Structure 1
Amino acid sequence: MKLNFLNLAKYKSKTYRNTNYSKRSIENEHYKIALEISNVGLWNWGIESNRVFYSKESKQIIGYCESELNSTSEFLDKKVHPDDKEGHYRDFKLLLKGRIDSYENEYRVLCKNGSYKWILDKGKIIEKDLNGNPTLIIGTHSDITNLKQKEAQLNKNLQLITSQNKRLYSFTHIVSHNLKTHIGNFKNILEFYDEANCENEKEELIQHLQSISTSLTSTIADLDDIISIKSKAHNNQLNERVNLFDCVYKVVESLKTESIKSDVTIYNALRKNEFLMTNSAYLESIFYNLISNGIKYSDPNKKSQIIIQSINTKDNLKILISDNGIGINMDKYKHQIFEMYQTFHGTDRKDSRGIGLYITKTQVEALQGVILMESALNEGTTFSLTFKKQKTLV
């Protein structure tokens, strides 16, 4: 009797096979645990059957349980944010056409609770048919919402810093120019003084020196005010609960003489129970500057009035200060409104130094607010001040 030849090189015992499968199972379990810990979801798409498998983690990212998520590719595609669909489809088509080796896209997806989350979606073709067409794609989902929010905040901070740097450059340029002008005038007057031949001429030059000295003192005071405002913007002096109606009432009372003299009626239409976490001195100064501007540039040919009112939204409080005064030509001056040493009304008022709105804007921004202005020549002006509600400033 002849025995069949036994090829020991290819022979694997049952024990070996079981052990091998056991090692493979342990390895798969390790991968599964690692994905759960990292909160990365798995998906794969069988193209011919149009069936998509989503792992538990993928479903949890957008708030669904395992039994709720439809297994077709269209289900998740329909939940991609409308603004992100074009980029998502474009990149995925490039993968299907073989123009890229792997797919990667960031997009927002609609969650079960109605909110949107940012998803980092990656995919790669792992199987093709005999004609080279893809038949199976495997990929991952990662929740990058927090990362996107931090990125948006960083961009916002960068824009703020860039804007502040531009304003600082503009400020230093203007101050430097003015200081140089004063110094140059001092130098010229002193040279003329040395060359003067009579006492009357010298006395006139001394008067010019006094005028230049007054102007220089005013410029330095402006600089000191602005630096003081900017330095306080970074400490806890901006943390008071201020009643807006009372604050405006106080300002209106302090301007009573001016308003009566100019025949301007001021309406404080703010609610008596409106409060803002802010700095009372700054807010009072802002109201004073804007209301006094309305009095200063009232139209003598009208029944002049100033109205202070508010608009509430969920997150913001907007304060409107409107007048029916002489107004400003915004087509001509809109880019200069809040710049230093700019005047726009074409009047000969000696008290119009062109610094008030710059300081007001600086104060509003120190309170983490936004100031805007609308105006029409011979019709009037409205300033809007927008602040975050009940937010402690630090």
Structure 2
Amino acid sequence: MLWKKIKNYKSIRGNPTGSTNHWEDLKWQIALENSEIGLWDYNVITDTVFYSTESKRMLGYASHELGNTAIEWNRRVHPEDIDNYFKDFNAHLNGDLSVYRNEHRIQCKNGSYKWILDKGKVVGTDANGKPSRIIGTHTDITYRKKKTQQSEEHLQLITSQNKRLHNFTHIVSHNLKTHIGNFENLLEFYEDSNSEDEKTELFEHLKTISKALTTTIIDLDDIISIKSKSESNQLNESVNLFNCADKIIKSLEIDSALHTVSIYNTIKQDDVLIANRSYLESILHNLISNGIKYRAKERSPKITLQSVSTDTDLKLLISDNGIGIDTEKYKNQLFEMYQTFHGTKREDSRGIGLYITKTQIEALGGSILVESILNEGTTFTLTFPKQKNTLI
């Protein structure tokens, strides 16, 4: 047995002129050491396990620091992996799997976790044909797992970026073609017109289309500018969220007073975000002004800002008791360009604000969610990582 061969390694080292079998034993030992693979040998009858020095070293333990029971390993398996760990092992014991194989996280001596490829096979049975001995190996696959996860994240990011780029180019093409088509039609009407009054009216229409085209180009330029900054990492700045929000609230004092909107800034005064200040101000201005704009006439309007901090994230919640949004009806359009969904016809609603807000938040490595009930109000939840992600 492989395990018995390895136990004899010390006597082999002291016998340089040993037999061929001894040298074969030595090759097994060297092969295991050089491959950095740990060995385990489970005696089902005695419920004891031999863990090789390499298996213990993977977890940061010396040879004498890990006992010879199965619980020594089992209790260190990550809680999220423990069920599959036992499921695969028992499936092999029951004969459902010819070879035991499982990938799981294991807690090291310093408290961190490593990914381990755990493999084994029954090599002995008792008189009743039940497994009595299992030999297996431990392989540290943390690096491979990390690279695989990074590759998957990169693929998801690239796929998402390509999708947004496709949508963006479609929108640009559609809107520019629409304006150009309107220009061409009005110019044809203008050339065919014999009435000065009609030409004057058509000229006014041309000026309206020209203004709309200019607005569209400015909107698209804003979005391109945001994406360019996010790609060049020009977004690192320490910003106090309470002070930033307070500044925006004061800038909207006339509008909020005119419509008797109460705004409550309950953001924790020591919450700081590494971000781009102008982006944050733009995000807050857009969401707060939306709360004012889409207030409910039948109740005293109010807007509340609050922050929630976790170990990894900082959440910013902006809530109002306004007219609300039918999120079921518009769930796929909430953050698209040139979409309006409040059921109101307003000249100042271009359907670009939330798209730009979402683009700015994502440029900062964050995300935005919306919860809303018609005629009750809306809450936007902005989540930012405390340490800004590195953009690709």
Distance 1:21 1:135, change over 3 A: farther
Instruction: Name the stretch that deviates more: 37-46 or 294-303.
Output: 37-46
Q: Counterpart of 1:156 in 2: which secondary structure?
A: helix
Between 1:331-340 and 1:225-234, the stretch displaced more is: 331-340
TM normalised by structure 2 equals: 0.84
Within the candidate set 12, 19, 41, 1:44 is matched to 41
Q: 1:264 aligns with which of 258, 261, 267?
A: 261
Distance (Å, rounded) in 2 between the aligned partners of 1:392 and 1:328: 31
What residue is the counterpart of 2:288 in the other structure?
Answer: 291
Aligned counterparts of 2:17 and 2:339: Cα–Cα separation in 1: 83
User: Could you state the TM-score of these two structures normalised by the residue count of structure 1?
Assistant: 0.84
1:34-61 deviations in Å (ceiling 9; x for gaps): 5445432012334565543210111232
* Contact map agreement 1:278 1:393 (CA 8 A) in 2: no
Cα distance in 2 for residues equivalent to 1:253 and 1:325: 20
Equivalent-residue separation in structure 1 for 2:291 and 2:50 (angstroms): 67
Among 51, 55, 59, the alignment partner of 1:58 is: 55
1:167 to 164, 168, 186: 164
CA–CA separation in structure 1 for the residues paired with 2:168 and 2:273? 29
Query: How far apart are the structure 1 equivalents of 2:254 and 2:101?
Result: 69
Asked if the contact 1:239–1:392 (Cα under 8 Å) also holds between the matched residues in 2, the reply is: no
Superposed CA offset, 1:63-122 (max 9, x none): 444345443556545654455455445555665677766543312334456554321122
CA deviation string 1:318-361 (max 9, x = no partner): 11111112111222222211111111111121000000000000
Partners of 1:93 and 1:378 lie apart in 2 by 55
Structure 2 counterpart of 1:380, from 377, 381, 392: 377
Range with bigger deviation, 362-371 or 88-97: 88-97
- State the 1:182 CA deviation: 1.5
Q: Which has the larger radius of gyration?
A: 1
Matched, 1:186 2:183: yes
C-alpha contact (below 8 Å) 1:238/1:393 kept by paired residues: no
Is the deviation greater in 52-61 or in 222-231? 52-61
CA–CA separation in structure 2 for the residues paired with 1:245 and 1:68: 50
Residues 177-256 of structure 1 mapped to structure 2, 5 A cutoff: 177-256=174-253
Is 1:122 equivalent to 2:113 in the alignment? Answer: no
**Per the alignment, in what secondary structure is the counterpart of residue 246 of structure 2?**
helix
Deviations 1:123-173 (A, max 9, x none): 345667999987654322012223223322322232222222222212221
Identity of aligned residues (%): 58
Secondary structure of the residue that 1:336 maps to in structure 2?
Answer: coil
Q: Which residue of 2 aligns with 1:323?
A: 320
- CA shift, 1:307, in A, is 1.6
1:8 matched to which residue of 2? none
SS in 1 for 2:231: coil
| Deviation, structure 1 residue 19 | 6.2
d(CA) in 2 for partners of 1:24 and 1:258? 91
Q: 1:309 to 1:72 in 2, by over 3 A?
A: closer
Partner of 1:277: 274
SS in 1 for 2:212: helix
* Structure 2 residues not aligned, in runs of 5+: 1-14
1:339 aligns to 2:333 (yes or no): no
Q: Shift of residue 288 of structure 1?
A: 0.9
**Does 349-358 or 379-388 show the bigger shift?**
379-388
User: Structure 1 pair 162/393, CA: closer, same or farther in 2 (3 Å)?
Assistant: closer
Rounded to whole Å, the distance in 1 between the matches of 2:92 and 2:329 is 53
Say whether residues 1:303 and 2:300 are aligned partners.
yes
Q: CA deviation at 1:245?
A: 2.0
Contact 1:367 1:393 in 2 (8 A): no
| More off after superposition, 107-116 vs 372-381 | 107-116
Q: Closer, same or farther in 2 for the Cα pair 1:279/1:197, shift >3 Å?
A: same
Between stretches 18-27 and 218-227, larger displacement belongs to 18-27
Equivalences, count: 377
Write the letter of the residue equivalent to 2:247: K
Structure 1 unaligned residues grouped into runs of 5+: 1-17
Query: 1:174-210 CA distances to partner (integer Å, 9 max, x unpaired)?
Result: 2211112112222222232333232222222222222
Measured in 1, the distance between the counterparts of 2:320 and 2:95 equals 65
RMSD, aligned CA = 3.0
2:6 aligns to what?
none
**Aligned counterpart, 1:313:** 310
